[in-house]
Structure 1
Amino acid sequence: MTDTITGKVVIITGASSGIGEATAKEIAGKGAKVVLGARRADKLEQIAEAIKAAGGEAVWQAMDVTRPEDNDAIVQLAKDSFGRLDAIFLNAGIMPVSNVSALKTDEWRQMVDVNINGVLNGVAAVTPTFTAQKSGHILAVSSVAGLKAYPGTAVYGGTKWFLRDFMECLRMESAMEGTNIRTATLYPAAINTELLSTITDPGAAEGMAGLYQAFGISPDRIAKVVGFALNLPEDTTVSEFTVGPANQPW
């Protein structure tokens, strides 16, 4: 396949650990110029320095995806640093799962704010640029819980089901409007990241920890899928990737 990833400018949210960090290092190693965003400035700086030490190009900016102005600012950083923007990987997310009866209503609202509004803010920030240049790639992380229902994930899964519909509508509308904006939605199963640290419900935490200990695989596996998607020819869209451990019956 012809290399199309070299030189692409890619924003990554949730870039301070897990899938975001692994993806930044993976695609920077293939010649992409990465723009890293997350709340933890110290982690972003370390990752950017590691990428540059390995010969890659990276800039970073602390951001909260729930703030529209932070999303606008990182788009501007990409343009100011590299003169263009080609793709955004909307990876930031939280997973404080619990049964509905636990009534963790604050956590419900947090999940909606980060997992849904965070994506909407990112899309809103890049759309004017992508529409004007008639090209762009929007990638987002859903979950296997966005494909089927699992007890304990009613709200979390709901936020991820939203992404499935939203990203598919975005893909179709872009094709109809002739803006050439491509989409890719990823549905990971058990990937070893910091997601489990957001679970406060003891029963849910124990169950998820056991699941991930039994099946979890490295986030670099997802990073390679993102790299594959970004390297596709401009006239080709693979809109969905379901990815997980080969031995997990998700």
Structure 2
Amino acid sequence: MSSELTGTVALVTGASSGIGAATARRLAENGASVALVARRKDRLTDLAAEIEKAGGTALAVEADITDRARAEAAVQQTLEHFGRLDTLVNNAGLMLLGPVVGADVDEWERMIAVNVQGLLYTTRAALPHLLKAAEDGPRRVADIVNISSIAGRVAWNGYGVYNLTKFGVNGFTESLRQEVTQRHVRVGVLEPGGVDTELGSHNDHKPEIREAIGTFYEQTEVLAPDDIADGVAYMVTRPRHASVGELWIMPTDQA
């Protein structure tokens, strides 16, 4: 185990698969105790066991962060178990694509609930503890990393509300960065391009969209979740005086 984050605690949302699971593993490898937050308890339990077997420390926390009370309870459970919180990775995300004309409004609401409201609820609950960690922690610095998307930088036809949520994440991140970073709670956004995760499968019920996504993945050497986990680990292991506000990671084929 590396020791850059020894003595610190990280909470990762959407930790049951993909980028979230890879990030949890990487932070544990760097010495952090990790709270794994998601809805699929069985996957969290397996991941926690994997991290523990590798010599790390992990806690599985089943929670739907779109429910404010449950998001707050996930942070509280982390505090009660580990006694502190130094790093928050807001990774949970949902991508449901399609035209605005004739759209299923329920899909819009689901995306906004996960991508925006869940991120806000978790961040609000975590902030007092991150500020405290920045004052008296072993590293005297804390971190929030919000996982956004290239869709937070560029809008495309058919991505309308997904674009809205990710542009919103970028704007919120920058505002919060200006508010708390000088108090040594560093706030940054990481914007991946195409990554081999479950995100595209959220559209399996839409054959035309799923086909287009499949074609992209066939023609592009996309990123692996570990590539994004590397980026998160880079951001949160900088020395106290260095803050990474934005990191954009793209497949070379897509860039």
**Secondary structure of residue in 2 paired with 1:61:** strand
**Is 1:232 aligned to residue 238 of structure 2?**
yes
**Secondary structure of residue in 1 paired with 2:234:** helix
What's 2:195 paired with? Answer: 191
After TM superposition, the structure 1 stretch with the greater mean CA deviation from structure 2, 111-120 or 213-222, is 213-222
TM-score (norm 1): 0.94
For 1:60 and 1:211, how far apart are their aligned partners in 2? 34
Match for 1:124: what amino acid?
Answer: R
**Secondary structure of residue in 2 paired with 1:31:** coil
What do the CA deviations read for 1:124-170 (whole angstroms, capped 9, x no partner)?
11112223444521111110010011111110011000011100000
Match for 2:142: what amino acid?
Answer: G
- Aligned ranges 1:36-75 → 2 under 5 Å: 36-75=36-75
**Secondary structure of residue in 2 paired with 1:187:** strand
What's 2:184 paired with? Answer: 180
Match for 1:246: what amino acid?
Answer: T
**Is 1:21 aligned to residue 27 of structure 2?**
no
**Is 1:10 aligned to residue 19 of structure 2?**
no
After TM superposition, the structure 1 stretch with the greater mean CA deviation from structure 2, 46-55 or 68-77, is 68-77
TM-score (norm 2): 0.92
- Which of 157, 162, 169 is residue 151 of structure 1 equivalent to? 157
Show structure 1 runs of 5+ residues with no match.
none
For 1:61 and 1:189, how far apart are their aligned partners in 2? 28
- Offset of residue 214 of structure 1: 2.2
**Is 1:142 aligned to residue 143 of structure 2?**
no
Match for 2:175: what amino acid?
Answer: C
- Which of 194, 207, 211 is residue 212 of structure 2 equivalent to? 207
Match for 1:185: what amino acid?
Answer: V
Match for 2:196: what amino acid?
Answer: N
**Is 1:167 aligned to residue 180 of structure 2?**
no
1:145–1:160 contact (8 Å) kept in structure 2: yes
For 1:44 and 1:227, how far apart are their aligned partners in 2? 20
For 2:67 and 2:56, how far apart are their aligned partners in 1? 29
Match for 2:31: what amino acid?
Answer: G
What's 2:226 paired with? Answer: 220
Show structure 2 runs of 5+ residues with no match.
136-140
After TM superposition, the structure 1 stretch with the greater mean CA deviation from structure 2, 31-40 or 94-103, is 94-103
**Secondary structure of residue in 2 paired with 1:100:** coil
2:3–2:31 contact (8 Å) kept in structure 1: no
**Secondary structure of residue in 2 paired with 1:184:** strand
**Which structure carries more relative contact order (alpha carbon 8 Å, separation 6+)?**
1
Percent of paired sites with the same residue? 37
**Secondary structure of residue in 1 paired with 2:217:** helix
**Secondary structure of residue in 2 paired with 1:232:** coil
- Aligned ranges 1:86-165 → 2 under 5 Å: 86-133=86-133, 134=135, 135-165=141-171
1:4–1:230 contact (8 Å) kept in structure 2: no
- Offset of residue 217 of structure 1: 2.1
Query: In angstroms, what is the RMSD of aligned CA positions?
Result: 1.6
Match for 2:208: what amino acid?
Answer: G
Match for 2:186: what amino acid?
Answer: R
- Offset of residue 58 of structure 1: 0.4
1:38–1:44 contact (8 Å) kept in structure 2: yes
